[in-house]
Structure 1
Amino acid sequence: MTTTPEHDDLAPVLRALRDGLPRTRAQLARELGLSRSTMSTRVDDLLALGLVAPTGDAGSTGGRPASTFAFTPGARIVAGVDLGATHARIVLTDLAAHEIADHREEVCIASGPGPVLDRVVEVVHTLLAEAGRDLADLAGVGVGLPGPVDHASGRPTKPPIMPGWDGHDVAGHLHAGLGSAPVLVDNDVNLMALAEHSSALPQVEHLLFVKVATGIGAGIIADGRVHRGAQGSAGDLGHVAVPGGEPVPCTCGNTGCLEAVAGAAAVAARLREHGVEARTSDDVVALVRGGNIVATQAVRDAGRAVGAVLASCVSLLNPSAIVVGGSMARVGEHLVAGIREVVYARPLPLATQNLRVTTSRIGAHAGALGGAWLAVENAFDTPGLLTRGTAGAADALSPVAPLPAAQVG
C-alpha cells in the first residue's frame, strides 16, 4: 500500500507510545497538542494496523473509565546481520529489539559477496518461516561488515579482509531476495556500540566500544548517537601506531599498528614463539582459561598496548565508559586489566575520574543486535514505513547451499 499523508500523521503518535507506557486518547491528545477527535481517529488507525493494542482502563474519576493503549512491538519485525571474517550471525527481533530467532554458522567472508549474501537471504527466509512471520512483516534489515563502509551507500570501501567486496551494492543484493524492506549497512563495530548503548547502557551518552579480535576497531557513541566521521572511518583504531611499540609489519603496509601488536593473530604468534601452540582467538582464550601463564601474560601485554592507544582517545573524546568486546574479550579480566592499567594512568584525572572500563554485557550477539537496532531506529525515523500496511514481498530464492566453513590454520 502506498504511503499517504494520513499514515505519515500516525508516526508522532507511534513514537510517543514507543516507551511502552499505556495512555488514554485524552492523554495522548494533550501530549501531542491535538484535538481529542483527531487523536481518536489516529489511535483507531493504529489499532487497525496492529501497532497499538488496548491495555485496560485508566480508572474512573466519575463516569465511564477511559481505555488505555500501548505500543505493540511485535506488530513488525526486523533482521540484524553480523558478518565477521569467519562467522555469520542473524537475528530476528521485534520493534523493541527483543530477540525472536537467532542463527549462527561459520562462513568465510573471503568467499565473496555473492555466496555470503545469498546465504543471508536464505537464512532470513528460514527464520521468518520458523517464527510464523513473512516478508510483509519485515520493517528493515541492518547489516554489519568487518571493514570500512560508506554508510550513505552501504557499500564496502577497500575492506582489507574482504576480497571482491569493494564497492559491492550490499543493500541492493539483499533487496533482490528480501523485498521492499529497507536495508542499512554499517561497520560491525559501530553496530556493536549501538547495541551496547541501546540495550545495556542507554543512560551513557558518551561511550567507546572496542572490539578486540582478529582485527581491532572502535565504535563511538557521542551525545547518544553513533559518530562515523566524514568518510565513515571514525574509530579505526587497528591501524593506529602503538606508542613505543615494536615495528611489527601490518597488513595495511605500515608497521607497529595496534592490530599487528595486540590482535588475536599477533597474540597467537607471540605464544608460538614461546613454544605454546595457538592459532586462533579460541586457542588463546582456552589457554588463558586453563591457567597458562605465558598466554595470560601475553593477553595482559596486549591489553596494555590497546590501553596505550585508548589513552589518547580518552583525552580526545572524554567518554563515560569504554566497553571491550570481540572474541578476545572472552578471556575475562586479564585483557581489561591491561587496558585499565594504562588508560587510568596517562590521561588527566578530569578525563578518567568517572570513566568505567568493562567488558560487553551483550557479548557475541552485539553485532547482530546492533543491526536490529539500526533497522528499528530507521523504521521509526522514516515517515510512513511502519504505517504503510503490508510491505511488498519478493519471491523466496531457490535454496542456497551452505557456505564452506572458514579454514583455520
Structure 2
Amino acid sequence: MSTQKYLSFDLGSEISYRWDEGDRVTALEGSTHVSDVLALIRDHGELTRTEVIELSGLSRSTINQRLATLSAAGLLTAVGGGESTGGRPSTRFAFNAQRAVVLAADIGATGFTAAACDLDGRPLAHLSHTIDVWSGPDAVLTAVTEAFGRLEFGDAEVWGVAIGVPGPVEYAARRVVNPPIMTGWDRFDIASWFTDRYDALVTVENDANARAVAEARLHQVDNVISLKLGTGIGAGLVFNGQIVRGDKGAAGDIGHTRASITDAEPRLCRCGNLDCVEAYAGGWALQRDLEAAGLPVTSTADVVSLVQRGDMEAVRRVRAAGRVIGDAIATLVSVLNPRTIALSGQLAECDEVLMSGIRERVHQHTVPLVTSDLTITKSTLGELAGVTGLALLTIDALFQPVSMERMLRGHA
C-alpha cells in the first residue's frame, strides 16, 4: 500500500489518499469533508457503514453525519444487505449517478454535439447540430441552449453545464482568449451566458483537452495526447493525470505550428500565417485542394466520404496529410513520451489512410525508447469523446468541497 496525492483535473486541490494494489482509495489522510467520504464510496462502488469508517479512519459519529447528509441530498442510495457476522445484513451505500445531470456541448468549427450526462459522465441522451462558429457566440450559444432543451433526461436536476470550444481557454475566467478561427469570441463571457439561464455550475474548456481527459479517465492512462482532427487540428495533453494548459491556455495548438514542408508553394492559413500544419492537413485545406482537383467536395465530411469510397486522389492527399501531422507531433512525442495518441474528429474516420502516415513519421523522427509502448489509434469514444470529457471535468468541480457546500446547502 502506498500514499499518493490526488490532484483534481480542475482545481488542483490536494488531498492525501492511500491506495491499494487495485488502485482503489483505502484511506483518507487529513481530510474529513463530506466530499471526501463521497469520493471514497464512488471509488469503491458500494460500501457498508463499517467499511467507510475503517477505510476513512474517521469516527462513527462523523461518518453517520456524512452519510446522512449525502443520503438526504440524494447522492447515496441503499443497495441492500452486505455480509454480516450475525443479525441483520449491513446496508451498503452506493453513489447515485442518476441524481442529476451535466449538460455538455462540444463545439467545433462547423457543428456541435450536445449531451445530457449522468454524474459518472455517461451520456444519457445526445444530438448533433450543424453551425458555423464564425457566426459568433450569440448565434452559436443560442443554438446550444435550444439543443439542451431538446435533450430528454427525465426529472433529473441540472447541476452542471460544460462547454468545449475550438480555441485557447483562460480556464479560471472561463473565456476564450485570442482564438485563431473564432471571430467575435475573444473574451466573450460564455459562463455568464449559461448562469443567466441555468442555476448550475458552468465550466468552459478547450475541446481537445476535454477529449484527452475522456481518453485518460476511461482507459486509465496517465499520459495521453488527444488529436482532434476535423475542419481544424488541435491536441489535448494529459500528463501524469493532469491537463497541460500552458500559461495562456494555448498548449497543444499544433494546427498553427509550422509544417515541415519544403517542396511546395507557401500556403496561407486561416489564422493569417503561412505554412501552418492546418494549411496542409486540416479538413478545410483538404476540401480546398480536392475541390481544386475537380472533385465534388464542399465539407470535411465529403473528404471523408471520398476516402471511404476509395477515391485515389482523396486517399493520396489524406495520407500525405497524415505525414504532415506525424511530423508535427513527433517532437511532442519525444519531449512528453505519451503512452497513447488517440485520434478523434471527422478526419479520424479516414482510419488507416490517415493513421498510417502519422505512425510513419512519428516512428521515423523519434528514438525507439519513446515509441516502444506507444499506441496510435482512433478513439473508441467517437463523437461522444468531447462531451464525456467535459462532463467528467465538471463533475470534478461539482464535487470539490466549496461546490459541495453550496450544493448541500441547497438541499438542507
In structure 1, the residue matched to 2:216 is 197
Matched, 1:371 2:390: yes
In the alignment, the residues of structure 1 paired with residue 119 and residue 94 of structure 2 have an alpha-carbon distance, to the nearest angstrom, of 13
Greater per-residue strand proportion: 2
User: Which residue of the partner structure matches residue 275 of structure 2?
Assistant: 256
Q: Provide Cα deviations, 1:127-176, integer angstroms capped at 9, x if missing partner.
A: 3xx32236xx2221111111222111111112232222111100011111
| Partner AA of 2:155 in structure 1 | R
- Measure the CA separation in 1 of the matches of 2:292 and 2:132: 27
Task: Give aligned-pair identity as a percent.
Answer: 38
Task: Indicate the larger mover: 312-321 or 376-385.
Answer: 376-385
User: 68, 71, 86: which is aligned to 2:95?
Assistant: 71
- Maintained 8 Å contact 2:168/2:248: no
Mean Cα deviation higher: 236-245 or 348-357:
236-245
Q: Offset at 1:382?
A: 4.1
User: Structure 2 CA distance, aligned partners of 1:254 and 1:116?
Assistant: 26
1:221 aligns with 2:238: yes
Contact 1:242 1:309 in 2 (8 A): yes
Cα deviation for residue 239 of structure 1 reads 1.0
Secondary structure at the aligned position of 1:385 is classed as helix
Aligned twin of 1:156: 176
User: 1:125 maps to which residue?
Assistant: 149
Secondary structure (helix, strand or coil) at the match of 1:165 reads coil
1:389 Cα offset (Å): 4.1
Instruction: Say yes or no: does 1:315 pair with 2:334.
Output: yes
- TM-aligned CA deviation for residue 274 of structure 1: 3.1
CA–CA distance in 2 between the matches of 1:115 and 1:229? 29
In the alignment, is residue 327 of structure 1 matched against residue 346 of structure 2?
yes
| Aligned-partner Cα distance in 2 for 1:63–1:178 | 47
5 Å matches for 1:2-401?
9-127=33-151, 130-133=152-155, 137-179=157-199, 181-199=200-218, 201-202=219-220, 204-245=221-262, 246=264, 247-385=266-404, 388-389=407-408
CA contact (8 A) 1:139 1:375 kept: no
Q: Give the 3 Å change call, closer, same or farther, for CA 45–387 of structure 1 in structure 2.
A: farther
Write the deviation string for residues 1-56 of structure 1: whole angstroms up to 9, x where unpaired.
xxxxxxx8321111111125211111101111111232123212222221111122
Taking the aligned partners of 1:101 and 1:51, their CA distance within structure 2 comes to 21
Gaps of at least 5 residues in structure 2 are 1-31
- 8 A contact 2:216–2:223 mirrored in 1: no
Deviation of 1:275 (Å): 2.9
Shift of 1:384: 4.6
- 1:402 — aligned with what? none
Whole-angstrom CA distance in 2 between matches of 1:165 and 1:338: 34
Q: Quick one: which amino acid aligns to residue 108 of structure 2?
A: G
Cα-to-partner distance string for 1:374-400 (whole Å, 9 max, x where unaligned): 2111112243537734759xxxxxxxx
CA distance in structure 2 between the aligned counterparts of 1:338 and 1:138, rounded to whole angstroms: 43
Q: Deviations over 1:322-346 (max 9, x none)?
A: 1111111111211001100111121
Provide the aligned C-alpha RMSD in A.
Answer: 1.9
Tell me which moved more, 351-360 or 46-55: 46-55
Say if 1:91 and 1:103, in contact at 8 Å, map to a contact too: yes
1:271-319 C-alpha deviation (Å, 9 max, x unpaired): 2343323232111111111111111111110001100111111111110
- On the 8 A contact 1:93/1:99 being kept in 2, the answer is yes
Between stretches 274-283 and 49-58, larger displacement belongs to 274-283
Aligned AA (2:161): V
Structure 1 residues 92, 327: CA separation in 2 closer, same or farther (over 3 Å shift)? same
2:33–2:401: 8 Å Cα contact kept in structure 1? no
- Asked if structure 2 preserves the Cα contact closer than 8 Å seen for 1:268 and 1:280, the reply is yes
The aligned length equals 378
Q: Which is worse superposed, 82-91 or 166-175?
A: 82-91
| Contact preservation (8 Å) 1:336, 1:357 | yes
- Is there any run of 5+ residues in structure 1 with no aligned partner, and where? 1-7, 393-409
Equivalent residue number for residue 18 of structure 2: none
Q: Normalized against structure 2, the TM-score is what?
A: 0.87
Report the TM-score, using the length of structure 1 for normalisation: 0.88
Question: Equivalents in 2 of 1:388, 1:239: separation in Å?
Answer: 41
CA change 1:355–1:41 in 2 (3 A) is: same
8 Å contact kept, 2:181–2:270: no
Whole-Å separation in 2 of the counterparts to 1:217 and 1:79: 23
CA distance in 2, matches of 1:87, 1:353: 37
8 Å contact from structure 1 (residues 81, 144) kept in 2: yes
Give the Cα–Cα distance (whole angstroms) in 2 for the partners of residues 273 and 77 of structure 1: 46
Question: Separation in 1 of the partners of 2:270 and 2:304?
Answer: 23
The CA distance in 2 between the partners of 1:233 and 1:318, in whole Å, is 20
* Aligned partner letter, 2:96: T
